[in-house]
Structure 1
Amino acid sequence: MNLKYFIVFVAGMAALAGCQEASEYIPSIYITEAQRQEVKTITISQAGEKAEFTVSAAQIVDRDTHVSFEACPELVADYNDRYGRTAVALEDFTFAKKEVVIAAGKNVSESVEVVVNEELKPGTFYCLPVKIASTDGGMSILESSSKLFLVFRAPVRSKAVYIGSGNKCFVPTFPEHPSFEGLNLETMQEVTLECRVMVNSFTKSDPYISSIMGFEGDVCMRFGDVKIGYDVLQVCKGDYQPAAINSPCAPNLWYHVAAVWSRSTLRVYIDGKFVAEQTHKGETVNLAGYHKLGRTGIGFSLGAASVYNNNRPLNGYLAEARVWSRALSSNEIANNKDLVVVDPQSPGLLAYWKMNECEVLEEPRRDPILNRIFYNRIVDQTGHGYDAYGEGRNPDFIDTNW
């Protein structure tokens, strides 16, 4: 063999041997759920309910393999830092067993059960970090999947108001009070809109629009348009119109939807997940503006958004509607989706309409700016006075459980 080719052959074989040695397979033990995601969120309705997870081996075990666990409350701070949350440690819990077995001939254990012994408060995350403490199976513990953040929340039971052509809600208090503590509502550099929405039926004829909140011409969330499907979430501000074309929504299902106008982008979220965005040139948002067509006008609204087509109303239900004077982060959007409710005094929360009840007015309110008559009021929970007003004399509500 030519000496040159022999040297190349030897070098190649050495490199191959080195790669094989570097990628030598080492079987290990790990928490099954942590291989996919290190956080598992569980809704607990009452004390005594439980969460479950399992342990896996990277290969079938030839004898019973015991795996023990420990709680690591000191890691709650690490969870909060990583996910931008303010979870508290779950204090009263019980491991049904602190040790589980991967039976011989299998590679997945029986379930590890964690019983929650305390009543949880809605609006709070409770975190219980757990970690594999030891195993007797001769396999190593896979460090990257050895811990799991169990995050517990209480369900939020409330109500939601019907929004339709007979009960569109408006916020005339924005144009009436366009400044708040030095904030100019007519030139907002950052805004976040969010709410929960369930559609009874989408608008399936021209213009194919079901309005959620905001108002056309400035910023609004809506389903549908002539250029997209009637069931697609779109956020509009002038020519900026990002749409979640790959994530159409369905009727009779609840969604958490959000729009975030930052100083450079307009982002769209569904159920806490980013779905679309568009960059902009640094324009501002006017929350206090309004449009008129003939005698009546429309400004920022809930379940309506346009002076045309009877205001392009939603046929469905709204709840937990909020306007923020800052651009919420992706973590904050996800947190709000999971927690459902927020503290009315949260930094940057401009207006908060829970939409779970309304005050039927003894005397109808005639609004001089929009030239509309209102029969019910939905209180702004922040105390800032940005109450919403509805046109329905006796609005319908449904029970909700998130």
Structure 2
Amino acid sequence: MKMMKQYPILACLAIFLVQTACTNYDADDHKFGNVVYFDIAETTDVQTTTIKNTLDELDKTFSATLAYPSEQDVTVSVSVDPGLVARYNARFGTSWSMLDEKYYALSTESITIPAGKTTSETVSLHLQELLGEGEEQAGALPLDETYLLPVTISQASIPVLGSSSTIYYLVKRSSNITTAAQLTNNWINFPTLDTYSDQSMAFNNLTAVTYEALIYIDEFATSTVTSDGNTNAVNISSVMGVESYLLLRIGDTNFERQQLQFDGSGSGSSFGKFPERDASKILSAGQWYHVAATYDQATRKVCIYVNGELQSEGKDMGISSMNEDTRINLAMRALYDFYLKNPTDENEQKYGGWADARQFFISYSYDDYRPLNGKICEARVWSVARTQEQIWENMYEIADPESDPTLLGYWKFNEGSGNTIKDYSQYHNDGEAAKDIVWPDGIEIPKINETEE
């Protein structure tokens, strides 16, 4: 009985000891002494900073952090150290030059980690004057050259963790594409396609279509956890188009999970699913591809291109005769809206059942669990079947996009922030992300259609 009565006292003592230990930041129970280091250098001390060639300035941020809180303020001095360039080059066998001091500035060189905290205020490395001066861009940071910028902890009031005390920024102003959107569990809607207008009607009454985009698949997922906690099989990654109508996707039921498929099951195409299953035509995760799919009612030809090369071709496919009733409509809700504004019996018969019609999306089909699961940029829709030569020559940019009426939609995904995706075509059907877009750093897409002379 006496032992049972002692339990509450022992419990209170245990709680007291735990609470005391939690506030004793320099307690002997720490196996290692406290150290300070850079937060982003904990994973890797090399930070690839590839900059869009139209950007004049850019901020990169970092903080100093502790292994565990200290009882006293910890002061840290931060500096750029050109002397570390030789060390980096010797380590990696490179020959990068130090970035000229006119192109950068630190927001502060002295930071503090307050007592009881583990992280300092944010420090900004400001990259500046990248475009030089005037129309000639005099003094601009040279294109496609890599420079080193080592930022280090030069002094601190406690020991420094040497392996994470320096950040090596690899700074490059690139002529390649450096911005893309991460569309993992995300997709792009087009609100203007839901209402009748000249904008939306550009997507209707078509006799030919080309879809194309630059894509990078992080993972070809085979299962997903739904919102109600269940696990569902996943066998499709959606690129763009209209579900069960005219959709470019990767994978399918009883189909190669990593193979492109153009599903033309709609009334305006009726060529079904193309091509057949073929393990020799699969894509790989972790690699940029330019993908394109074309269909032409007049020629009855379906084509799929990968990196500008013809991968699959189908002839004598789709509808056998062209008429007004077999046109391709990618914005069917706009036609329903046309009926609401013009409620004739004829319009009701044609469009009255399209209130909830499936629409054109990027990275969405059927439900929330078939996204691209990767990155995308340079997405386009055309009202013609582009030739292989046209696709090859224009994989990375369309010059003067507003001058071509056959370019129905052109989403470069070059914003780098926000959730609105500008349409650079003359129709201006901007996209809106279903969720906040992640804009990853370090992207650079080499132009494989350009060869060195």
TM-score, normalised relative to structure 2: 0.46
Q: Does 1:345 align with 2:402?
A: yes
CA distance in 1, matches of 2:357, 2:221: 22
Partner of 1:164: 184
Structure 2 residue ranges without an equivalent (≥5): 1-52, 54-142, 144-173, 224-232, 266-270, 335-354, 447-453
Which of 313, 327, 342 pairs up with 1:277?
A: 313
Amino acid across the alignment from 2:184: G
Q: Is the 8 A contact 1:170 1:298 kept in 2?
A: no
Q: 2:420 aligns with which of 364, 377, 397?
A: 377
Distance 2:302 2:282 in 1: 19
Change in CA separation of 1:178 and 1:300 when aligned onto 2, cut-off 3 Å: farther
Q: Secondary structure at the match of 2:401?
A: coil
- Please say which structure displays the higher CA radius of gyration: 2
How big is the shift at 1:314?
Answer: 1.3
Q: Which runs of 5+ in 1 are unaligned?
A: 1-45, 47-121, 123-153, 361-375
1:312-323 aligned at under 5 Å gives the runs 312-323=370-381
**Which stretch shifts more, 382-391 or 183-192?**
183-192
| Residue number among 194, 200, 224 corresponding to 2:251 in the alignment | 224
The 8 Å contact of residues 192 and 199 in structure 2, kept in 1 or not, is answered as no
Q: TM-score, normalised to structure 1's length? A: 0.52
Alignment partner of 1:213 out of 233, 240, 252: 240
For 1:228 and 1:321, locate their aligned partners in 2 and report how far apart those are by CA, in whole Å: 25
**What is the match of residue 288 of structure 1?**
331
Q: Size of the alignment, in residue pairs? A: 230
Q: Deviations over 1:369-392 (max 9, x none)?
A: xxxxxxx21110124221011022
Q: CA RMSD in A?
A: 3.1
Q: Is the contact made by 1:224 and 1:231 (CA closer than 8 Å) also made in structure 2?
A: yes
Q: Which of 294, 298, 301 is residue 260 of structure 1 equivalent to?
A: 294
Q: Equivalent residue for 1:13? A: none
Amino acid corresponding to residue 185 of structure 1 in structure 2: F
Aligned ranges for residues 2-401 of structure 1 at < 5 Å?
155-165=175-185, 167-177=186-196, 179-180=198-199, 185-205=203-223, 206-238=233-265, 240-243=272-275, 245=278, 246-263=280-297, 264-278=300-314, 279-281=317-319, 282=322, 283-289=326-332, 299-306=359-366, 308=367, 310-337=368-395, 339-347=396-404, 348-357=406-415, 360=418, 376-398=419-441, 399-401=443-445
- 2:411, 2:199 → 1: CA distance? 17
Structure 1 residue 175: deviation in Å? 2.9
Q: 1:155 to 1:396 in 2, by over 3 A?
A: closer
Change in Cα spacing, 1:314 to 1:331, as seen in structure 2 (3 Å) is same
Q: Percent of counterpart pairs with the same letter?
A: 27
- One-letter code of the match for 2:361? S
Secondary structure of the 2:194 match is helix
- Contact 2:308/2:391 (<8 A) preserved: yes
Cα distance change of structure 1 residues 184 and 340 upon mapping to structure 2, 3 Å threshold: closer
- Distance (whole Å) between structure 1 residues aligned to residue 184 and residue 333 of structure 2: 20
User: Which has more strand, going by share of residues?
Assistant: 1
Q: Measure how far apart 1:276 and its partner are.
A: 1.6
Q: How far apart in 1 are the matches of 2:259 and 2:202?
A: 32
Read off the aligned partner of 1:240 and give its amino acid letter. Answer: G
SS in 1 for 2:274: coil
Contact 1:195 1:258 in 2 (8 A): yes
